[in-house]
């Protein structure tokens, strides 16, 4: 008995485990079917950190972005497509092309210029089919790869220059070498755990000779140092097996060195240039292949060596040297002097450069603003305005129709653009308005008047700007005593008062508040940071070269979140680990930072999301990658911070390919309707939780690339999720209703076979024509717009099939039958075309307004679209419509109000109520709308009569032809009258049909032809294109169409009453047999 009980227990456990395994779950595969649209902009682009050009097909260009992936142009830079979206990171440091096989391309991830906003990678990737597919090739902890060199003669030999982590010690740095095409790697050059390889170049005539610039560099959140004993210049003569260091004994500067840029002259490889950061920064030149060096220029070739240290030599002129930095300078005398090359005609801050080896006048430049191309060596430049890799720190929205999106970008200012456009051509760059320049951060529309914008640049430079006039007020606060120095973070936080549309909060080390749009300020807090004086030396940051740009400002407030549920509650986060809370409007503050479980010391609190309804509930984003800790941290409290729960870890936010650490968090947002629905922005993409953060699922690259998501906003009226990505500009997930329903019901909703979700209101707008060029061809960006029509999101369970009656009986009886038996009794057969959904639109009283069918795809892929039209009419057509064609639409538009949409798909039916709105920009009365619809119905009634008349003509024409074919063997004496009458009828029918359309056999084209069809469309045009009740011109057009239609119909009636009657009677009187008498054989 005991054994039997144990057996039952085991069976029960197994059954439970099987049930658990079979439980429905939200997966990335399902999220793959969610559509998130990228609206740009591309005019405000982003850092291009790598450029490579196909050596055989120079029209094929590859461009890598700091955090926006790899882009390819096959047209010399006219059109561009992303080709790295399925990779686990979009942070690119280098691109190299196999010179023997240009379909083999290597990509090193992690940008190589380590500023405060640097983006990290996860190793090396390779494609062997031109970017269609990518394979991870190792070095997951390299973090930063600035250069890859492929051996010219043996492409299996590959060198990788890894800077490693710039935020602390790491072993995976230096020069790595593979001799088997990346299958295995070894350290070819390693100095210490703080020194990486900043540059690696090969002798163009001797690929086994390598020059490596080793760089000791360390960044803290509050300070950085460039230079140290580990830095130096090394040369290998045997493909990296052995290295020789060049020092001051060889002519290089004495003492510690910093970053070194290297370039070898292709036309004379004995000429080598080195841009050396030292006690005195200077360009050095070797004329013997790197053995001895001489100092050349000390000015004009760079101003920030830690960030800009790349130099390039004209491939056909060893004395022409380019240095790229804030601007571009060029030396024509072998490095002795430099002069401006590009100036400010293109975006400053240059990151990458390529010179054609065959035509040095052809140059491609990558900078913080995107990519530029010159064909005349800098006299003129072309900007690639269709690479949307903007790095947004923040996003916001207004409540206009359609609503606008606002945001600030790294080194590309602040701007605003539409979430959708009610005109043709999609969202273009010209739709975006720059409101401020510099490094852009918080950009917020005034709550009660979106004409005005709060806009901020680095270090707390805050302005209040009129979008219409451009007028702006400088409103950065000062301390009330006029003496205390305020510390504003590089990315200082700004927040709007939920209870006062003119109220704003701003953060230095204090919390500032203005109730009058920034005209006057008051302090709401003491210093909320740790005020650690050891971290307040940003003015001397930089190491060998000072670099104080507000980027290392520290012990500052970086997050402000006033509670919408209680005006007294404000949450504040700092860059040194404090989470401050006031529950009395700033009178007293409580630091909760040390209550966060497992939280590292002095970490950043970049974002706090507080509940819209519960003042004690908040989500805290914490990241610590600036201290070499890449783990994810997200915390949640519901009781004002008395208890905290950590919601993420490396287990549920894993990093691919075995990289140490985790996928660190950047932003979080809680849905405004369903509190358990959360979205988490990380360094490697977007995650969703439908269970209050207990589990997380990543949006796969088919929905959104693995790009840093720095900020998110929900446009509450429309229910859209707006994403500010740091590398791929702005994305919008339209209509959260499917995900909200999923969060309400849990993953069990995924078991439902078929379901409709709430639709956003349809808006009856007339689209404007194009702005700018109608035919914009390929060089322009077009972001997809949201349609104003009614769009009903749909769920179709993957693998869903209809059940026959026999299938249902089998299921009820729990019987199993073979597939062949099911098919014989009516089951669905393989190869059947895709099932269509049957859609019926009903008024609230149940009257049918419109019916149509549409194909649906799996999961969330599909939507049902209704253009807010009623049943239309079939117009006269030369061709017969398909038998399975839906009833025509295009009837009068419905009036504003609510309607039911009922959908049957296979064996399942669902319905949803939808709302239709008038154009909010117009003021048209219901009576005018009804008058317009009545006029359309009047014309449609006329069209129905004309269609019947035209179809009758076609039928009669076929009948005449049939009679003629039957009379082929009839003696001429009997059939001549019939054939004569038939020919006459055909002539009459042809003449009547030509009054409907232009004769198709007629040569040429006639504009504005005065036929019946054109008169009908002219009348409808006058009625539909004039909002409201038809005017007198529309009435004239309608009356003309009616009169001419009546006249035409009268002629058709006359045909059938005269010629047709005579033809028929004559044909029917002929007595002729089709049979022949056969004699007996």
- pLDDT at residue 762, as a whole number: 98
Residue 869 sits in the same domain as residue 1001: no
- pLDDT at residue 5, as a whole number: 39
Instruction: From 894, 918, 942, give the residue that closes a domain.
Output: 918
Would you say residue 807 has pLDDT above 70? no
Among candidate residues 373, 320, 307, 311, the one with its CA nearest the CA of residue 346: 373
- pLDDT at residue 1008, as a whole number: 60
Does the residue 454 lie in any domain?
A: yes
Residue 872 sits in the same domain as residue 807: yes
Does the residue 895 lie in any domain?
A: yes
The DSSP output letter for 858 is S
Pick from 248-257, 544-553, 691-700, 808-817: least confident: 808-817
Does the residue 266 lie in any domain?
A: no
pLDDT tens for each residue of 30-74:
999 999 999 999 998 999 999 999 999 999 999 999 999 999 999
How does residue 975 score in pLDDT terms, banded at 50, 70 and 90? confident
Does the residue 846 lie in any domain?
A: yes
Place of tokens 């805050």: 462
For residue 915, give both structure tokens: 């709302």
Pick from 382-386, 525-529, 802-806, 837-841: least confident: 802-806
Residue 808 sits in a domain whose CATH number is 2.60.40
How does residue 19 score in pLDDT terms, banded at 50, 70 and 90? very low
pLDDT tens for each residue of 239-275:
999 999 999 999 999 999 999 999 999 999 999 999 9
Contact indicator for 368, 348 with CB cutoff of 8 Å: yes
Does the residue 701 lie in any domain?
A: no
Residue 959 sits in the same domain as residue 1037: yes
Residue 971 sits in the same domain as residue 1002: yes
Residue 982 sits in the same domain as residue 902: no
Q: Can you tell me whether residue 377 is helix, strand or coil? A: coil
Does the residue 1008 lie in any domain?
A: yes
Residue 858 sits in the same domain as residue 884: yes
How does residue 815 score in pLDDT terms, banded at 50, 70 and 90? very low
Q: Output the average pLDDT for the chain.
A: 93
Residue 944 sits in the same domain as residue 893: no
Residue 960 sits in the same domain as residue 1001: yes
Does the residue 974 lie in any domain?
A: yes
Give me the phi and psi of 809, to 5 degrees please: -65, -40
Would you say residue 862 has pLDDT above 90? yes
- pLDDT at residue 893, as a whole number: 96
Average pLDDT value for residue range 616-623: 99
- pLDDT at residue 1075, as a whole number: 57
Residue 892 sits in the same domain as residue 930: no
Write the CB contacts of 456 (distance below 8 Å, at least 6 apart in sequence). Answer: 408, 414, 436, 440, 441, 442, 443, 462, 463, 492, 494
DSSP string, 570-634: EEEEETTS-EEEESSTTSS-EE-GGGSTTPPTT-EEEEEEE-SS-TT-EEEEEEEGGGTEEEEEE
Average pLDDT value for residue range 618-642: 98
Instruction: From 867, 894, 918, give the residue that closes a domain.
Output: 918
Q: How far is CA 302 from CA 122, 225, 259, 879, 1017, in A?
A: 30, 18, 12, 72, 67
- pLDDT at residue 916, as a whole number: 98
Q: How far is CA 886 from CA 873, 883, 1008, in A?
A: 11, 9, 30
Does the residue 555 lie in any domain?
A: no
pLDDT tens for each residue of 308-336:
999 999 999 999 999 999 999 999 999 99
Q: How many domains does the chain have?
A: 3
Residue 974 sits in the same domain as residue 902: no
How does residue 9 score in pLDDT terms, banded at 50, 70 and 90? very low
Residue 994 sits in the same domain as residue 1060: yes
From CA 621, how far away is CA 540, in angstroms rounded?
Answer: 30
No. of H helices and E strands in the chain? Answer: 10, 68
Q: 416: domain range?
A: 398-476
Is beta strand 404-409 parallel, antiparallel or unpaired with respect to 414-418? antiparallel
Residue 892 sits in the same domain as residue 968: no
Place of tokens 């004002």: 640
- pLDDT at residue 812, as a whole number: 52
């Amino acid at each position: 008995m005991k054994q039997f009980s144990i057996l039952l227990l085991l069976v029960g456990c197994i059954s439970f485990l099987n049930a658990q395994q079979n439980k429905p779950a939200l997966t990335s595969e399902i999220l793959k079917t969610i559509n998130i649209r990228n609206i740009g902009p591309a005019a405000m682009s982003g850092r291009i950190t790598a450029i490579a050009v196909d050596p055989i097909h120079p029209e094929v260009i590859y461009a890598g972005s700091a955090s926006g992936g790899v882009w390819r142009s096959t047209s010399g830079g006219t059109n561009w497509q992303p080709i790295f979206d399925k990779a686990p990171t979009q942070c690119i440091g280098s691109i190299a092309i196999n010179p023997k096989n240009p379909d083999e391309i290597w990509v090193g991830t992690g940008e190589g210029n380590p500023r405060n906003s640097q983006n990290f990678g996860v190793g090396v990737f390779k494609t062997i089919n031109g970017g269609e597919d990518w394979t991870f090739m190792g070095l997951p902890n390299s973090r930063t790869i600035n250069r890859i060199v492929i051996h010219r003669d043996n492409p299996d030999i590959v060198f990788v220059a890894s800077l490693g982590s710039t935020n602390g010690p790491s072993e995976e740095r230096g020069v790595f070498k593979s001799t088997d095409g990346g299958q295995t790697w070894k350290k070819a050059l390693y100095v210490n755990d703080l020194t990486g390889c900043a540059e690696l170049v090969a002798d163009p005539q001797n690929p086994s000779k390598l020059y490596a610039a080793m760089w000791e560099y360390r960044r803290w959140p509050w300070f950085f140092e460039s230079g140290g004993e580990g830095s130096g210049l090394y040369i290998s003569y045997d493909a990296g097996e052995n290295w020789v260091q060049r020092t001051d004994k060889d002519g290089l500067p004495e003492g510690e060195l910093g970053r070194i840029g290297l370039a070898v002259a292709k036309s004379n490889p004995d000429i080598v240039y080195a841009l050396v950061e030292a006690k005195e920064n200077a360009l050095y030149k070797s004329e013997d292949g790197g053995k001895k060096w001489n100092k050349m220029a000390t000015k004009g070739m760079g101003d920030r060596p830690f960030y800009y240290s790349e130099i390039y030599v004209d491939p056909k002129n060893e004395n022409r040297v380019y240095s790229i930095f804030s601007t571009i300078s060029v030396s024509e005398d072998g490095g002795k002097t430099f002069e401006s090359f590009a100036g400010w005609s293109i975006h400053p801050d240059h990151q990458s450069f390529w010179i054609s080896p065959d035509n040095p006048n052809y140059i491609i430049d990558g900078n913080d603003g995107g990519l530029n191309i010159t064909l005349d060596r800098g006299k003129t430049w072309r900007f690639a305005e269709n690479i949307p890799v903007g790095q947004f720190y923040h996003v916001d929205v207004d409540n206009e129709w359609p609503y606008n999106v606002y945001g600030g970008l790294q080194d590309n200012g602040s701007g605003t653009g539409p979430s959708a456009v009610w005109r043709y051509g999609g969202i273009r760059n010209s739709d975006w308005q720059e409101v401020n320049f510099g490094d852009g951060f918080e950009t917020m529309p005034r709550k009660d008047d979106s004409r005005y914008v709060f806009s901020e640049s680095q270090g707390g430079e805050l302005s209040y700007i009129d979008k219409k006039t451009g007028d702006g007020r400088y409103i950065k606060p000062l301390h009330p005593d006029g003496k205390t120095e305020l510390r504003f973070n590089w990315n200082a936080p700004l927040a709007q008062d939920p209870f006062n549309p003119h109220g704003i909060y701003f953060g230095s080390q204090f919390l500032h508040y203005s109730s009058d749009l920034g005209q006057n300020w008051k302090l709401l807090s003491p210093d909320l940071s740790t005020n650690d004086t050891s971290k307040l030396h940003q003015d001397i940051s930089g190491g060998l070269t000072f670099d104080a740009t507000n980027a290392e400002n520290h012990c500052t407030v970086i997050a402000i979140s006033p509670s919408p549920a209680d005006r007294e509650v404000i949450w504040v986060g700092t860059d040194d680990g404090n989470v401050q809370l006031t529950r009395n409007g700033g009178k007293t503050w409580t630091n909760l930072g040390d209550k966060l479980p497992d939280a590292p010391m002095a970490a950043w609190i970049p974002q706090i999301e507080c509940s819209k309804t519960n003042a004690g509930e908040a989500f805290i984003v914490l990241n610590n990658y600036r201290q070499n800790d890449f783990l994810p941290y997200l915390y949640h409290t519901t009781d004002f911070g008395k208890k905290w729960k950590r919601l993420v870890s490396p287990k549920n936010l894993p990093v691919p390919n075995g990289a140490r650490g985790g996928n660190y968090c950047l932003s979080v947002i809680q849905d405004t309707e369903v509190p358990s629905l959360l979205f988490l922005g990380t360094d490697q993409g977007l995650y969703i939780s439908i269970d209050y953060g207990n589990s997380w699922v990543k949006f796969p690259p088919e929905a959104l690339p693995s790009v840093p998501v720095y900020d998110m906003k929900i446009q509450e009226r429309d229910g859209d999720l707006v994403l500010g990505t740091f590398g791929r500009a702005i994305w919008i997930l339209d209509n959260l209703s499917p995900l909200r329903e999923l969060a309400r019901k849990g993953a069990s909703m995924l078991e439902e076979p078929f379901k409709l979700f709430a639709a956003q209101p349809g808006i009856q707008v007339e689209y404007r024509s194009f702005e700018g060029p109608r035919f914009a061809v390929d060089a322009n960006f077009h972001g997809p717009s949201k349609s104003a029509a009614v769009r009903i999101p749909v769920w179709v369970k993957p693998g869903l099939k209809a059940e026959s009656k026999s299938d249902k009986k089998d299921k009820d009886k729990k019987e199993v039958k073979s597939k062949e038996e099911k098919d014989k009794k009516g089951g669905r057969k393989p190869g059947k075309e895709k099932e269509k959904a049957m859609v019926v639109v009903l008024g609230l009283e149940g009257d049918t307004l419109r019916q149509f069918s549409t194909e649906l795809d799996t999961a969330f892929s599909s939507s049902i679209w209704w253009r807010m039209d009623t049943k239309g009419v079939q117009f006269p057509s030369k061709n017969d419509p398909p038998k399975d064609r839906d009833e025509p639409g295009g009837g009068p538009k419905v009036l504003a109000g609510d309607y039911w949409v009922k959908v049957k798909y296979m064996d399942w039916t669902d319905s949803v109520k939808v709302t239709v709105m008038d154009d909010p920009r117009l003021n048209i009365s219901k009576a005018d709308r009804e008058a317009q619809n009545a006029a359309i119905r009047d014309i449609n009634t006329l069209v129905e009569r004309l269609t019947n008349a035209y179809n009758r003509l076609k039928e009669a024409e076929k009948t005449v032809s049939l009679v003629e074919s039957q009379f082929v063997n009839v003696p001429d004496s009997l059939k001549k009258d019939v054939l004569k009458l038939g020919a006459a009828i055909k002539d009459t029918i042809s003449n009547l049909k030509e009054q409907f359309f232009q004769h198709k056999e007629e040569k040429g084209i006639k504009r504005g032809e005065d036929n019946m069809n054109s008169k009908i469309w002219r009348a409808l045009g006058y009625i539909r294109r004039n909002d409201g009740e038809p005017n007198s011109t529309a009435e004239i057009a309608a009356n003309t169409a009616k009169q001419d239609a009546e006249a035409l119909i009268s002629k058709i009636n006359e045909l059938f009453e005269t010629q047709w009657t005579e033809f028929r009677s004559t044909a029917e009187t002929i007595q002729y047999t089709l049979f022949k008498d056969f004699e007996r054989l």
